[in-house]
Structure 1
Amino acid sequence: MGYREYQQSWDQIKQMKSPRLFSGDIKILVVEGCFDHAEQVLESAGISFDSVPEHFSRSLEGYDIIIVNCPGNLGDSNIKKIQKFVEKEGFLISTDWALQYLIEKAFPGTIAYNGTVSEGRAKLKIVNSNHPFTKSLEGTPNWEIDGGSFRIKVNSRRVDVLAISDGGVVKKKDPLIVTFGWGSGRVLHMISHVYLQSASLRDTFPSALLLCNVLEDKAVSKGILELQPIPFDLSKVQSTPLFVDSRPSAAMIKTVATFRATCPAKGDIISPGQCVYYCPSCKVQFHEGCIRQYLAYNRGCPICKKPIRI
C-alpha cells in the first residue's frame, strides 16, 4: 500500500470534514483478510478500530461499522451475526471475494458473483453523486483491479449502483461500487481491494473519501453530526422575481427515495421510502413541498439552474 499517498489524501479530507469523524465516536471493527487490508488505510488516517480474524467469536454489539476484507470466508455462524448486525442499523463494508463468501449468503437477492476479471486498471465513474457515500467524489480516477476479482451482478430493484467502469480491464458500465439497505442498516460493496488504490494521490483519494463518507453518514444517523444543507434559502424565494427563461423545461421525476439524503432546501433528512422529486439533470432529490414552493417563483433547478417543472 502507498502509505504516504494515503496520508496525503487523508490530510486533504480532514480539511473538508469535521474532526469528530476521527475522534473514535464511531466504533469500527475490521475483519482481517489475506488479500485486502483496509485496516492499513484506517491506520494511515489515524482512525481507531478493533480487528478480528475471519473465524472470530467476538460479539458485534456496540459496533457501528464492520469492514470485511477479501476473501470474507467467515463461516455460517459469523455470517448470521453479520446479517443481524446490519438489520439492527449496522453499516457493513465488504470487498471483492466477500461478494460470494459473505454477501450472497447473508443478503440474498441483492448482489451476486458474475465471473472474474483480469489484473489491471479500470476507470471509475461515479453515477450516483447524490448518495451520501459518494459526496464530493468526481472525475474518473483509476481503480486498481487485482487478478481474479469478482464482477458484480446487481438486482437493480434493490441495489443502488454508485460507480461503474468507464473503461479498462472491467467492461464498460459494469458496477464497481454498489450499496443497498437491509433492515435498518446498509451494505457497501466494492470490486477489488481498498488497500490497492495507492498508485498515486489521485487514485488514493476516492477510496479514502468513500470510507470517510460512510463514517460521516453513520455519524449523522447517530446524531453525532448534523447534515449541512446545500446553500439556498427557501424562505426568501417569495421575494425573488419570477424567473423568465425561454428554454424548454424538463419534467422532474417523482420517485421513492431508496437511501438517506439531504433535501437542499432546509437540510431536512430524506428517508428511504419517502416520496421525492429529483431533477433529471443533476439528480438532486427534493421533498415535494419544498420544490413546489420554490418552483412557484423560480423556473430553474436551485442546484444546476436548468429549467424544470413538476
Structure 2
Amino acid sequence: MFFVRTLRAALVGVLCLALPALAGDPPLGEAKMSTANKAAAKVLKARMQEERPEDYAVLQKVEAAEVVVVSGEYDRVEDVLREVGVPHVVVTPMQLARTPLNAKQLLIINCSGSLGPKGLEKVRKFVNAGGFLYTTDWALTNVVEKAFPGFIAFNGRETADDVVEVQVKESSGSNLLKHLHLANANPKWWLEGSSYPIRVLAPDKVEVLVESREMKKKYGAAPVAVMFRYGDGKVLHIASHFYLQRNQVRSVAEAKKGGAYLKEDAKLSKKAAEALANDEDVKNAQAGDLQSAYAAQQMTSNLVIERKKDQARIDQLYSKTLAQPAPASRASAGLGSGTRVKVVEQKGEKVKVRSMEGDEAWVDLAAVK
C-alpha cells in the first residue's frame, strides 16, 4: 500500500511538471464521489441557513487570508472549502516556511504533510501563539508527532482501503460536532490504504471527538478525530482524509437516491428537502455517499466557524503593544515598535513577550504598554 501511494505521488509530480498548462486538478477518488461532495455541500448550506443562521452568517464573513491550506499528495481539503464556499489561500509545503502566519488564522495541512524543519517550527510557533491547526492521515507522523510530541501517535498498524462506521461523541458538547448527523444512522468514514490509526498518548489532554468501534476491532485504535490544546492554540487531527473519495453502502436507506433520502430520512425541513430533491447533483448522488461526504464537510465548516468566533479571544490575549522595538535573536525574529504582544513571563523588570506570529523576546517592563 505504501509503495502504491508513493508511486502515485511521484506520477502526479511528474505530470504537474510536464503539463503546467492544465487548469485544475482531476477529482480525487471514485467519479461518483465528486457528485456526492457537490450534493453534500448544497445540503450543508441549506440546513445551516435554516437551523443555524447565525453560524452560517459567520461562515460568510470568513476572508481568504484567514484560512491557509497546505497542499498535499493524497487529499484536497481545498476542494471541500470551495464547494462549501469558504475563501482560502493554498500554499505548497515548501512555501509554508515563508508564508506569514498569525494566531487568528486556521492552518489546514493535507496528507502527507512533509514540511521540513523550518516548516515544522513555523507550525509549532503558530499553534503556541493561538492558531488552530487541522491535519489529516500521514501528517500524524510528519507534523503532529514532530511538532507536538507526547499527545498522539501512529499506532503502527496501517489500514487497508476500507470504510468504517463512526460514532460521534455528541455528549462532549463540542461545537465542532454540530450537525454531523444528516440522518439517524451513523456516518461512514473512508480509510485510504495505509492510513494511520491514532494512538492517544495523553488521555487527560486529548479529547476524542469521533471514534469507531469497527476501526478499533480491525486496526487496534478507535479514535477518528481528536483534538488537544497546545499553548494558546489547538490541534485537530483526523484519520484518513478531509475529502471523501470512496464509500460503502450498508443499508437500504443508504442505497436510495439522494432526493428520496432527503425527503424520507434526512434531518431536513420538508421545505428544504423538496427544494433540494430536484437538484441534479442531489438526484444523482447515492444516499450513503452523500451522508458520509456531508459529515466530513460539516466538521470542516464547524472548525472554520469556531476559528472565526475565537478571534475575539486572540485580540484579548494580545492587548499590549511594544513602545520600542525588540532586537532579533537566534530563536526569534525581531519585534518592531507597535507590535501587539502578550506577556508570557516576568523576571523583575524584564518580561518575555510574544507576538501573534509566535515570535518571543525579552524586553523592559516599561516598554510594554
After TM superposition, the score normalised by the length of structure 2 is: 0.57
The runs of 5 or more residues in structure 1 that have no matched partner are 225-310
Code of the residue aligned with 2:61 in structure 1: it is S
Counterpart position of 2:209: 162
> Secondary structure, in 3 states, of the residue corresponding to 1:93?
strand
Code of the residue aligned with 2:119 in structure 1: it is N
TM alignment of 1:114-125, pairs within 5 A = 114-115=155-156, 116-125=158-167
> Secondary structure, in 3 states, of the residue corresponding to 2:164?
strand
Code of the residue aligned with 2:86 in structure 1: it is I
Code of the residue aligned with 1:124 in structure 2: it is V
Query: Quick check: which has more Rg, 1 or 2?
Result: 2
Counterpart position of 1:180: 228
> Secondary structure, in 3 states, of the residue corresponding to 1:214?
helix
Counterpart position of 1:190: 238
Code of the residue aligned with 1:67 in structure 2: it is I
Conserved 8 A contact 1:91-1:186: yes
**1:46 Cα shift?**
1.4
Counterpart position of 1:308: none
Counterpart position of 1:212: 301
**1:53 Cα shift?**
0.6
**1:61 Cα shift?**
3.2
* Number of positions where the alignment pairs a residue of Structure 1 with one of Structure 2: 224
**1:13 Cα shift?**
4.3
* Cα distance in 1 between the residues matched to 2:127 and 2:135: 12
Conserved 8 A contact 1:28-1:63: no
Conserved 8 A contact 1:141-1:203: yes
After TM superposition, the score normalised by the length of structure 1 is: 0.67
* Cα distance in 2 between the residues matched to 1:196 and 1:4: 11
Code of the residue aligned with 2:58 in structure 1: it is R
Change (3 A) 1:173 1:74: closer
Counterpart position of 2:199: 153
Counterpart position of 1:11: 45
Give deviations 1:137-187, integer Å, cap 9, x for gaps: 344111011000001110212100111113268547611110000001101
Counterpart position of 1:230: none
Code of the residue aligned with 1:142 in structure 2: it is K
Change (3 A) 1:39 1:170: farther
Change (3 A) 1:215 1:170: farther
Give deviations 1:116-145, integer Å, cap 9, x for gaps: 111110111012541121123344111011
Counterpart position of 2:284: none
Give deviations 1:85-143, integer Å, cap 9, x for gaps: 11111000000000000000110110011121111101110125411211233441110
> Secondary structure, in 3 states, of the residue corresponding to 1:195?
coil
Code of the residue aligned with 1:151 in structure 2: it is P
Counterpart position of 1:71: 112
Code of the residue aligned with 1:121 in structure 2: it is V
* Cα distance in 1 between the residues matched to 2:245 and 2:312: 31
Counterpart position of 1:42: 81
> Secondary structure, in 3 states, of the residue corresponding to 1:71?
coil
Conserved 8 A contact 2:134-2:236: yes
* Cα distance in 1 between the residues matched to 2:190 and 2:218: 10
> Superposition RMSD on alpha carbons, in Å?
2.1
Q: Which has the higher strand share?
A: 1
* Cα distance in 2 between the residues matched to 1:95 and 1:135: 20
* Cα distance in 2 between the residues matched to 1:142 and 1:204: 9
Give deviations 1:241-270, integer Å, cap 9, x for gaps: xxxxxxxxxxxxxxxxxxxxxxxxxxxxxx
Conserved 8 A contact 2:104-2:130: no
Is the aligned partner of 1:55 residue 2:101? no
Conserved 8 A contact 1:143-1:197: no
The runs of 5 or more residues in structure 2 that have no matched partner are 1-32, 248-288, 314-369
